[in-house]
Structure 1
Amino acid sequence: MPYKAISDIGEFGLISRLSKLVEPTLAEAPSLVKGIGDDCAVYRLSETLMQVATTDLLAEEVHFDLLFTPLRHLGSKCISVNVSDICAMNALPTYALVSLAIPPSFSVEMVEELYRGMSHAASGYGLAIAGGDTSSSRSGLVITISMTGETAKERLTMRSGAKPGDLICVTGTLGGAAAGLKMLMREKNIMLDHLSNNEPYSKSLMADLQEYSDAIRRQLLPAARLDTIRLFHASGVTPSAMIDISDGISSDLGHLCRCSDTGALIHERAIPVNTQAREIADELQEDALAWALSGGEDYELLFTLPKEQAAFLAGNRDISVIGEITEKEKGVLLSDIYGMTLSLDDLGGYDHFRT
């Protein structure tokens, strides 16, 4: 029997197949509310309290490049991307476990610098790093973070609760992280070209990048939107569905709609494209909207809200209404500035096995 390449089915096709294989184990976990298929797994701690749990793996040369990623920044980002998953469940983070596979080129001081970034971020989010594991690596650095959080039963938000007519909202601005990565990669390639041609390259890799500092910060030091979750809790507002934007709206909105069995219509004019992403796109003659839709790594929150709760949005400049949930048969669509509609499925998002 011929083997199938993972690239033939992609990351999410692989997850779907693996989900079927582990399905029989779910009968052994009566307190499990949600398994594979959301930002976190959900467990029932009591009649009123839910625990959410997530894990994330970051591998050198896949998720990060140490030529332009300071170790302290990397440590902070590892924590933030997991907190973002906790936030997507409308929960607050509690504990983290850190596992490292460390290459022989690393010194004790380098590992300590990585942990300084993790500790600083964890303190800012109010969570404890409670343990983990270490191993050697024969290739690059590999980091795995596992994290738990808690939320009240009535506040728990999953991808599956959106209903036709709900507003589609997003926090912050989009496309900045992708733009930052573009500039970092450009400078790295300039440096490598000089070195390969035996030409001097005396300046720092970051020397010419100060004017792009906002976009670069969004790539290297993203911040999970715990502030938005605290605002939800303080205001008594619970989104009907939510997901964090790790792969781009075009992909993540599709996940939310598939879980909710709905369609969606979003409007290009309403998408909050990061200002510096627009400037960088103009300089590179690329499309900032494409970065906002498919670039990923923004770690903003994409959520839906019943229209009767729309008053919550009044005056909040950090949340944009970008569209509306529709019936499933209408598909997941983008209306452009010319009034034409196109399928977001055609735009795609980040896929580890198809990139």
Structure 2
Amino acid sequence: MASHFDIDLLMPAPMMPFVMERLDQAFRVHKLWLAADGDALLAEVSSRIRAIAAGGGAAVTADLMRRLPRLECVAGFGVGYDSIDVQWAGAHGITVTNTPDVLTEEVADTALALTLMAVRRLPQAERYLRAGNWLERPFALTPTLRGRTAGILGLGRIGKAIARRLAACGVPVHYHGRHRQEDVDLPYHATPVDLARAVDVLVVVTPGGVETRGMVDAAVLKALGPNGVLINIARGTVVDEDALIAALRDGTILGAGLDVFAHEPQVPQALLDLDNAVLLPHVGSATTYTRQAMGQLVVDNLVAWAQGRPVLTPVPETPIKVA
């Protein structure tokens, strides 16, 4: 099919079928994962590639971008973009986009559900019923959301949407971020440890990457305390998994609800073996409606760039701002 734009685009990993179809209609797409020899394909097309569509967790490294001298735009699928070296891209005049907003409410819904599941032990109760144990005796009484205080670690779009949901449940909310937000009327804490000490539900919503790697460590978990519950719907790398496993085993904290892990899709057996951990396979935004909206935003960003218009959702490190 002839390209609508006379532009070569690199797709390192598979994306949703309708995204691939629409990009195929608009660009000359080179699908790296289908090549028998990826290096040979890159050598053949590198001088022509002007854009990358990055989905499927594909890493867009400085080494890859350095091989593409005409690269101008990297369109990422997802609100997180720690798999893209945005610092290198920004320093070399390359625009990077992500897909915020369209997944905010879906991920916030998941965070609230995961909080209820972890605090009320709802997955454990279902397993108890399915095993036939209810025929012998009722499921044990559980902790409650009543009387708790929640802390949001990373009060961005998603963090604020989670805070609204928790407030509707009657749960007071505190927060920590890189800076106090003057327009936010919630208690602020200067460090993650300070926040954890003040709450008993800690919801991790901060971006991934080098700056936040291992931010939730043994000291934070100790501050959260034996009645505390950790919820992570951000990136697995933000939490020290070894410290978390130890804290769950020895009662340093009460429980955890995790949608993300350090080495997805590999989940440590030690976590799988813990009954006080609720584990989901990174489904925070995984509904048909939201993923289609995210995919369409990838397409829309690339088309806007190709037409010479401002991209719709540049990341803060990008050299091109929204008009």
TM range (shorter): under 0.3
Greater share of strand residues, 1 or 2? 1
Higher-Rg structure is 2
TM-score w.r.t. structure 1 length?
0.26
TM-score w.r.t. structure 2 length?
0.27
